[in-house]
Structure 1
Amino acid sequence: MSEIPDVLLEATNGSLRLRLVRYEFPEIKNDKWDSNWLVVFGEGHIDGRRWRFESPCLSTVEVGALVDWLHKVANGEEVDEIGFMEPHLEFDLIGRSHVRVSFALEAAPPWVDGYDLDNRIGFDILIGPQLANAAADLRSQFDAFPVRGMDE
């Protein structure tokens, strides 16, 4: 059995390696909210400085939406803005050529005020095959964490 790859987004001045680690509450299987929070591990790099974070900052539903969003952006399709309930990570389409990846709260590097959501730190990546690869790798990870408890 092959190992599921981390999501990797790289630019000249920054990078993000992302991995879905586990459900925050694995024992809760029938609640549409608590059943679906995922603990996310990230390793960031901006301007030569590195940091790591591990936080329950995305839900399964949000990960599925991010997979679709990255895929569409990589293919040049029109997309709406994407946002998450917990604003730790942000992905913004910048024109037709770049995606900005930015960090706040527990995902922010320790040398910045992660609680200043108006002054996020991040980096821009070119739109291209890298985004398609990131979408495919995130899809592989997402398949291991199905959406649970949505019948309630």
Structure 2
Amino acid sequence: MRLPSGDGAEVQIRPVAYQFPWIATPGDWDANWLMVEGVVRLSNGEGWSFSDPCLTTWEASSIAEWLRQVATGSAQPSAFPSEDDERLQIFTEPNLALSLETRVQGRVTIRVHISVQSLPPWLTADHDKDLFDYFVSLNVSEADLQGAIDDWASEIAAFPNR
């Protein structure tokens, strides 16, 4: 999934494999962990990539649902979410989180919160910010949002719940 911003920033994330492909016990958490690759580019051109088992198959599906809610206008913006804000989409591993900043004239600004092992290399996992404080704001058109929804749905289809 690619979320491009009007200012040149961009976040790409995609599931690439089950973390433990040899485990196939239905409903087992270990059987449903996904390796996720991410590429982040800031508006100033700096960027980095990461690869980490940071989503379950269930959480990947919840991202698709949240993105659909953003597209339809049923997801509510959040001034600046904290861990306790139910509008912040958090997952078991805190590497990634999502929040909606604004919706204005056919565009949405989505925050991709990045923590721990997925942080940029110039920040360490023990930096002085709290979880989810580091984020990239992406001002995304409706067309690009729909493209991201379609891409994510296609990408996670290859990794069904086991």
Give the TM-score range, shorter chain.
0.7 to 0.9
Bigger Cα displacement from structure 2, 64-73 vs 80-89:
80-89
* C-alpha distance in structure 2 between counterparts of 1:93 and 1:35, whole Å: 30
Segments of structure 1 that go 5 or more residues without pairing to the other structure are 1-6
Judged with a 3 Å threshold, the aligned counterparts in structure 2 of structure 1 residues 78 and 17 are, in CA distance, closer, same or farther, namely: closer
In 2, are the aligned partners of 1:13 and 1:123 still within 8 Å (CA)? Answer: no
Residue 73 of structure 2 is aligned to residue 62 of structure 1: no
Q: CA deviation at 1:141?
A: 0.8
Residue 101 of structure 2 is aligned to residue 94 of structure 1: yes
**Counterpart amino acid of 2:50?**
F
TM-score (norm: length of structure 2)? 0.79
1:3-46 Cα distance to aligned partner (Å, 9 max, x none): xxxx1111115211222110000011115210100000111111
Q: CA deviation at 1:118?
A: 5.4
Judged with a 3 Å threshold, the aligned counterparts in structure 2 of structure 1 residues 134 and 36 are, in CA distance, closer, same or farther, namely: same
Residue 29 of structure 2 is aligned to residue 18 of structure 1: no
What's 1:124 paired with? Answer: 138
Bigger Cα displacement from structure 2, 118-127 vs 47-56:
118-127
Residue 119 of structure 2 is aligned to residue 112 of structure 1: no
**Counterpart amino acid of 1:29?**
A
In 2, are the aligned partners of 1:53 and 1:107 still within 8 Å (CA)? Answer: yes
Segments of structure 2 that go 5 or more residues without pairing to the other structure are 77-85
TM-score (norm: length of structure 1)? 0.84
Question: Runs of 4 or more off by more than 3 Å in structure 1?
Answer: 113-116
**Counterpart amino acid of 1:140?**
S
1:41 to 29, 37, 40: 37
**Counterpart amino acid of 2:20?**
F
Q: CA deviation at 1:113?
A: 3.3
